[in-house]
Structure 1
Amino acid sequence: MAKGESMEQQRHVVDNSSEVDFFTGESSIFGLNSFEPVLRNRSNALDLARDQKNLLKRVKLSIANSKIKSPAFPGNHDMLYHDDTMPSSRLEQLMLQGKPNRATIEQHAWNPEDRSLNIYVKEDDPLTLHRQPVAQSTDCIRGKVGYSKGFHVWKIVWPLRQRGTNAVIGVGNSDTQLHSLGYNSLIGWSEDSYGFDIVKLKCFHNAKQSEGWAFPNQINEGEEEIDKSSIPESIYCILDMDEGYMAFATDEKYLGVAFKGLKGQVLYPIVSAVWGHCEISITYMGGLQPEPPRLLAICRKTVRQHIGKRNIYKVLKLPIPINLTNFLQFK
């Protein structure tokens, strides 16, 4: 490290001679300039412009996420049966079936016996927790039910003015730590939990050994800049234990897939809070039993995997009808 240069400055130095693969987190010996001869040889000017644009976007995202090593980072995994940035048909199916009855909702509520001592579940409202005003403390609570299979959705209601510096929602197993000194994003700190900090707009898993990543990602042109006010009071947690991913949504927008690689675990809803007297509610929206994917979805996933994530834009060049092209692009 150069004299007077901070670790933060060192972390953002990127050697132009190497490219960091956004999807694997690994470096290669090929830099951006090594693609230029290939691009120059393209006869079609539109193809050239599109390739350059996609390449630059990949490199920029690669640099931003080059330190990510977490196995839960979505880019480290195979594609899903649906577009990561779009809700699955199972979410629509679940929301159309209506809310469960009150008894079922309370069965999936906060667990008053599985919490930090600085948190209690309100007697007159078993769906809502209250955190005591304890300084320099981060406190968590788990839900009553852990999920190992099926498709599940619950809604978290967390007032904007009761979030403080660290407000984290997500899932964790039965070993997840429920209290720590100081203010931090405790959910996602170890390999036992997966947390989305709705203040910092970052996802964490095993953060003591790996860095978090920005979420939700702003990768589409014309999108408004994402800030903490974009996460409203109500946010939906979407857990698919059959495909092994977790996603988030608001009443207005699907935020995308935040974590992958969750199969084979038993995971509970969980939050960590630092704001004194904050009150956070959970409402179970329902679940769907495991079911095999449709044959059409299997075929699409197979074709997209064969093309590869880095070349998926080339699906437009396939000699197939426009309807199939649109299908492969989840349109």
Structure 2
Amino acid sequence: MSAKFLRTLVMIIKGYKAVKLYKYVDYVSKSHFTVKFLKETIVASPIYIQIFGFFVIVTLLYLSSSYWTFRQEKFSYENHECLPVKDVPPLMNESPACPRLKIFCHMQSLPRCVVRHHGWSRTNRSQNILVNTNDPTVCFRVKSSQSTDCIRGNVGYTEGTHCWEIHWPRTKRGTHALVGVATEDAPLQGPYLMNLVGNNKHSWGWNLWTNMLHHDSENEKTVPYPNFRDKYVKYAAPDKFMVMLDMDQGTLSFIVNGRNLGIAFTGLKGKTLYPIISVVFGESQVTMSYIGGLGNTPPSLKALSRLLIRETVGRSHIGTATKRLNIPETLMEYINNSRERHLD
């Protein structure tokens, strides 16, 4: 190694007559910065030093950005892990008991083909999100730094009340995990880490990390959700929760352990809306299981009678209780059959 090369290397490291880098930093979110562009490079050195210094700086910027993103996503949950509480804290305005919600929580299991049909879309997704070949209710985000990726449901809803369950482990969410609904015009990929669902007027989303609601957030303020009595309470949604979309009333709500957290969004009537999620965490797996839909007519007497029996007997004793009743086998199966709704 020549003495001239060593002097050149020292000159680059010290920054003496080497590359002077002017960069503009654009504030993207509360915890992320991105280099917008390089304004100019002033070099008072030979051309090979310019080229070498330029590649060194670009490499260092890329590595530091990727490492910071990894650290942020990895340790953000570790700092957040102590926040969730076991039960939902008291809400400012408790939602009254909703018969439709109770019916959804005790609804019979749908045929597997119906659940699969209401799963994730294989076409309306970011290229970084894959749908399970054998089970379209499961999607998986591949590792990809510095991007935000979305996927929509396969079925859009224009009327009736629809409910689906989201299974998204807290350890695989990151800081920009959003769940909500969107129209066909909502974007499915962002160039950097961002709250993509709710970023524009075509989508509505709940950030599971910050507990904030987003809709057209480029122009409108975000709103805290759920609205707890103690505004300083620390809470994170569990791995499984439910989403209830009422297209007749034009509202979107979220349910945890059978408890309605309140109406998150209104004014959705007259649109065609699809379930959607926004993912930034690498190797995240999210499952969406369609629970069912109800029309705008009152629940049937049959459904209400089944609900009353199940609530009176109790979920844990329903199997034993129905065996003691002198009822046909078909009716017994109708009363007993129900998916787990995490009501404990």
**Alpha-carbon deviation of 1:292?**
6.7
Give 1:207-218 correspondences, 5 Å limit.
207-218=217-228
Partner residue, 2:170 = 160
Does the CA contact (< 8 Å) of 2:247 and 2:269 recur in 1?
Answer: yes
Provide structure 2 residue ranges, at least 5 long, that are not aligned to the other structure. Answer: 1-92, 300-344
Aligned equivalent of 2:269, options 260, 263, 277: 263
Partner residue, 1:106 = 116
Matched residue type, 1:276: G
Provide the rounded CA distance (Å) in 1 between the counterparts of 2:285 and 2:297: 36
Partner residue, 2:337 = none
Does the CA contact (< 8 Å) of 1:200 and 1:228 recur in 2?
Answer: no
Provide the rounded CA distance (Å) in 2 between the counterparts of 1:215 and 1:226: 12
Partner residue, 1:6 = none
Helix, strand or coil at the partner of 2:248: coil
Matched residue type, 2:208: I
Partner residue, 2:11 = none
Matched residue type, 1:98: Q
Q: Could you say which structure has the larger radius of gyration? A: 2
Does the CA contact (< 8 Å) of 1:84 and 1:257 recur in 2?
Answer: no
Provide structure 1 residue ranges, at least 5 long, that are not aligned to the other structure. Answer: 1-82, 294-331
**Alpha-carbon deviation of 1:95?**
2.9
**Alpha-carbon deviation of 1:181?**
1.1
Partner residue, 1:245 = 251
Partner residue, 1:227 = 234
Does the CA contact (< 8 Å) of 1:86 and 1:256 recur in 2?
Answer: no
Aligned equivalent of 1:194, options 204, 225, 230: 204
Provide the rounded CA distance (Å) in 1 between the counterparts of 2:298 and 2:99: 13
Partner residue, 1:151 = 161
Instruction: Give me the TM-score of the superposition, normalised by structure 2.
Output: 0.58
Partner residue, 2:191 = 181
Provide the rounded CA distance (Å) in 2 between the counterparts of 1:244 and 1:122: 31
Matched residue type, 1:145: V
* Residue deviations 1:301-322 (CA, integer Å, cap 9, x gap): xxxxxxxxxxxxxxxxxxxxxx
- Alignment RMSD, CA only? 1.8
Partner residue, 1:272 = 278
Does the CA contact (< 8 Å) of 1:164 and 1:274 recur in 2?
Answer: yes
Aligned equivalent of 1:169, options 176, 179, 198: 179
Give 1:25-36 correspondences, 5 Å limit.
none
Identity of aligned pairs, percent? 35
**Alpha-carbon deviation of 1:224?**
9.2
Structure 1 segments (4+ residues) deviating >4 Å: none
* Residue deviations 1:89-125 (CA, integer Å, cap 9, x gap): 1111233331211111001000011100010101233
Pair 226,237 (structure 1): closer, same or farther in 2 beyond 3 Å: farther
Matched residue type, 1:177: P
Instruction: Give me the TM-score of the superposition, normalised by structure 1.
Output: 0.60
